[in-house]
Structure 1
C-alpha cells in the first residue's frame, strides 16, 4: 500500500520593509526554492509583497494571490466587517491547508515581519493547529523608518511605545504623553487625529514615508497633509547616554 504523502509546511516569510536586499538569507532561499507561493494584495493590483520578489521566483512557480475583499463601505465597528474578513481568511487558509495536506510546501509572503500587524497572523491561527507552519522573521517597517530618520529611536532606559493611529484620540494622546519614544502605525486617514493628539500631548514627530524604498522621505509630521499608506510617525527618545 502506498503511504500517504508527508504533510507539507506553510512558511510565513517576512520580506522586510520593501527592498529585496533587506530580506534574510533564509527568506531569500525559501522564496527562490518554493513551487507554491501565496501573497495578499488589493484586487487588480500586483501587491507590494509580490513586487519585492519580482525576478526571484522559479519558472514553474504556482502563484496564489489572495485578494482582499472590499470593506471600505463597512465601518470597522460593524459586525459585518469582521464577518467578511473572517470568511476571506478561512477561504485562504483552506486552500493553503489543502496544499500542505497533499504534501506541498507553501511560502506565504509577508511584508515586514509576519507576526507584526500582518495579515499572515490570521492564517497562522487557522493553520497551525492542523498543518506545520514555520515563521521567518523580517526587518520591520518601523526599524527601516528609524534608520531612515538618521537618529536612534531609544537611548538608555527609554521606553518605546508602538501605537496604531486607529486608537481613539484621547487614548492616543495619553500614550504619546506617557512614553519616551513612539512609533505610530496605520496613519492614513487618521493623520488629522494624530496631529491633534500630538498637540494635546505637547510632542512633535517626524513622518517617514516609503522607508527603504526609492521614494523614501523624512519630514516633520506637522508639515504633512496626506500620509501615504507606507508611512510611519516617530518620536525619538532622548534618554540616558554616556
Structure 2
C-alpha cells in the first residue's frame, strides 16, 4: 500500500465562498480531517466548513494545551506546545503510513502566521505534504473597510499585537500602511502604540472579517470594548496615485 498525503488547506478569511476551488474539492472528498481548536471550543476552522464535509469523514481535533494561560516568554509555554505538535504529527504520520490522505484545516493562508506551519516543518522531510494557499484574514479585513490598503509606493507592515509597545510604535511610525493582528487583550497597548506613531485617528477595527458577525468601525469609535481573537486593525496608506 502506498502512503498518503497531508494537505494543509487554507480556508481564507472565513466566508466559505472565498475558498479556492481546490480547497473546496479537497474538503468535500476528505476521509480524514484534522483541525486546531482551544479545549472546550468547536474551533473556528471547523465552523467554517460546516455543511461541506463527507458524511463518513473521520475528524481529529488538535486541542492546544495552552493559549493565554501562561506568557509566551515562559519556557513552559514553548515546551508544552512543542510536545503538543509532536503528538499531532505522530498521529498524522500513522494515518499516512496506512495510506490515508489527511486534510488539515487552516484559517487564512497556511503559511501566514498559522499553526499548520509547526506541523509542516516537522513532516515535510518525511512524508508528502501539499499546501493549498488562500486569501489571508488581513485581506478580508481591509476589503471590509471599502478602501484600498496601499497606493503607489506605500510600505505595508504587518505586526502582532503581542509585540512590545515600543517595537509596535517604532514599526508603525516607519510605515505608510499598517495591519495589526493577534490583538485580543493587547488592545490598549496597540492603541497606545498607534497614538505614539500618530496613526490612531485613521485606524480601523475589523472583527470577524467576512464572517456573518463581521463588524467594521473606526478604532476611535470602539471605546473600551474587548476585542475578540479574530480582530484586525488596519491603517490605510495614502501614497502616490495618478
Query: Does the TM-score normalized on the shorter chain lie above 0.5?
Result: yes
Corresponding residue number in structure 2 for 1:241: 241
2:205 pairs, out of 207, 212, 235, with 207
Q: Secondary structure at the match of 2:55?
A: coil
Corresponding residue number in structure 2 for 1:35: 31
| Cα shift readout 1:50-96 (whole Å, capped 9, x = no counterpart) | 11111111111110011111353322111110000000000001100
1:70 pairs, out of 58, 63, 66, with 66
Determine if the alignment matches structure 1 residue 155 to structure 2 residue 185.
no
Corresponding residue number in structure 2 for 1:229: 229
Determine if the alignment matches structure 1 residue 93 to structure 2 residue 108.
no
Corresponding residue number in structure 2 for 1:54: 50
Q: Secondary structure at the match of 2:3?
A: coil
Q: Contact conserved, 1:12 with 1:109, CA < 8 A, in 2?
A: yes
Distance 1:72 1:207 in 2: 22
Distance 2:135 2:67 in 1: 29
Q: Contact conserved, 1:169 with 1:193, CA < 8 A, in 2?
A: yes
Distance 1:182 1:28 in 2: 31
Aligned pairs for 1:100-115 within 5 A: 100-115=96-111
TM-score normalised by L of structure 1? 0.96
Distance 2:106 2:67 in 1: 21
1:133 pairs, out of 120, 129, 137, with 129
Distance 1:143 1:161 in 2: 13
TM-score normalised by L of structure 2? 0.96
Shift of 1:172: 0.4
Shift of 1:7: 1.4
After alignment, is 186-195 or 223-232 more displaced? 223-232
Q: Contact conserved, 2:31 with 2:54, CA < 8 A, in 1?
A: yes
Aligned pairs for 1:193-204 within 5 A: 193-204=189-200
| Cα shift readout 1:26-68 (whole Å, capped 9, x = no counterpart) | 0000000110000011112111111111111111111001111
Determine if the alignment matches structure 1 residue 13 to structure 2 residue 3.
no
Q: Contact conserved, 1:195 with 1:222, CA < 8 A, in 2?
A: no
Q: Which 4+ residue blocks in structure 1 deviate beyond 6 angstroms? A: none
- Count how many residue pairs are aligned between Structure 1 and Structure 2: 238
Residue segments in structure 2 that go unaligned for 5+ positions in a row: none
Residue segments in structure 1 that go unaligned for 5+ positions in a row: none
Distance 1:9 1:28 in 2: 17
